[in-house]
Amino acid sequence: MDIQLLTHVEKQSIGERQPLPDRYLRLSDDEMDERIVAAKGTLGERLVILGHHYQRDEVIKFADFTGDSLKLARAAASRGAAEFIVFCGVHFMAESADILRGPHQKVALPDLAAGCSMADMAEEDQLEICWRELAELGVDVNATVPVTYINSSAAIKAFCGKHGGVVCTSTNAAGVMSWAWQKGERLVMLPDQHLGRNTGYKLGVPLNRMAVWDPHEIGGGLTAEQTRNSTLLLWKGHCSVHTRFTGQQIDAFRAKHPDGKVIAHPECTFDVVQAADLSGSTEFIIETLRKSPKGSVWAVATEIHLVNRLMHELAPDRTVVTLDPFGCLCSTMFRVSPNHLLWVLEGLVEGTIHNQIIVPEETKRWSRVALDRMLEIR
């Protein structure tokens, strides 16, 4: 899958999103790389650059750590000497780094337009309304535990912290949800309905004990009976990247590679996860493919940059392809360009921090409660 065309087109309009000074536009790739290396060298131990697995190659090559969002936030906190954390990822990830950072550290996101469409599907006031409406529908909210995927705003995490809830990742969702069912009779899982459904089903919850809560409808669009019958209420949110994969794509892959295997991220739909051979987080996907037998063939249902890197890393011993032949790009992650990275780094060299991410203290305190609960679950 070659996405050079998009990169080329993007270069023409790079300053139209997060505005950049003119001197950061129309730079050659070589000059940009040289200046990023130079700024990094000048900042030395004072800087740590984090690169999420879905980040583009021209940016991730400068990362000191690569990984998923939680792994990166913890890596930054462990780099005590680093005063500046530049997070090449999306907004909620930089917020998590700000929540977990040391007191002397500052976090910057190279492009403030790099959000996450899934995280944006759950807003704090919608969750407040959900809680009030659940009570009106006869649900015991004191026996209802909010569980938020780490792909959510700090404000949503703080709500969970305040209401006895917890954060989960795609790696630990099963353990966290099991813990939450020991605390309450019902979970509200947000913002990703698919991670919630796929994990709940794996844990033995039948589909008829799950219901989708639509924050744009009164009472979530559910009757009182549907709500009370549900062990698992799934927030109506999704990842626009992972929901592009389909069962037909799996059929087409299997027709071409009868011995091939399909591995899917749990943000994919229930049908795709059921039809896949394996499903799990980005870290699980990477580990599984690296340990797979020589000669094996894999179709991977996750973001295209990670799939491309695995394809190059594991060739020629293993064949790795994207399940979607047109490639699924996280377009918001893609907004972090080398130009934006250079602008932030040279700003730090000059003593200016651009795009600092600051989570308000009260929000930080309660988000930390929800994150710490997760970290204590074994």
Q: Report, in Å, the least distance between residue 373 CB and ligand SF4.
A: 22
Give yes or no for residue 285 binding ligand SF4 (CB under 6 A). Answer: no
**Whole-angstrom distance, CA of residue 276 vs CA of residue 272:** 6
Give yes or no for residue 169 binding ligand SF4 (CB under 6 A). Answer: no
Nearest to 281 by CA among 54, 61, 55: 54
Give yes or no for residue 151 binding ligand SF4 (CB under 6 A). Answer: yes
Give yes or no for residue 239 binding ligand SF4 (CB under 6 A). Answer: yes
Stretch that binds ligand SF4, among 27-35, 111-119, 204-212, 360-368 (CB under 6 A): 111-119
**Whole-angstrom distance, CA of residue 200 vs CA of residue 211:** 12
Q: Which is nearer to ligand SF4, 47 or 301 (CB)?
A: 301
Mark residues 81-100: x for contact with ligand SF4 by CB under 6 A, - for none: ---------x----------
Give yes or no for residue 134 binding ligand SF4 (CB under 6 A). Answer: no
Among 49, 97, 109, 116, binds ligand SF4 (CB under 6 A): 116
**Whole-angstrom distance, CA of residue 149 vs CA of residue 281:** 12
Q: Are 266 and 201 in contact (CB under 8 A)?
A: no
Reduce the secondary structure of 306-353 to three states and give it as a string.
Answer: HHHHHHHHHCCCCEEEECCCCCCCCCCHHHCCHHHHHHHHHHHHCCCC
Q: Report, in Å, the least distance between residue 86 CB and ligand SF4.
A: 17
Tell me which residue has tokens 């550290």: 105
Two tokens, residue 377: 């679950």
Q: Which is nearer to ligand SF4, 273 or 348 (CB)?
A: 273
Q: Are 314 and 295 in contact (CB under 8 A)?
A: no
Among 226, 229, 231, 240, binds ligand SF4 (CB under 6 A): 240
* Residues lying near ligand SF4 in the complex (CB under 6 A): 54, 90, 116-118, 151, 239-241, 303, 330, 332-333
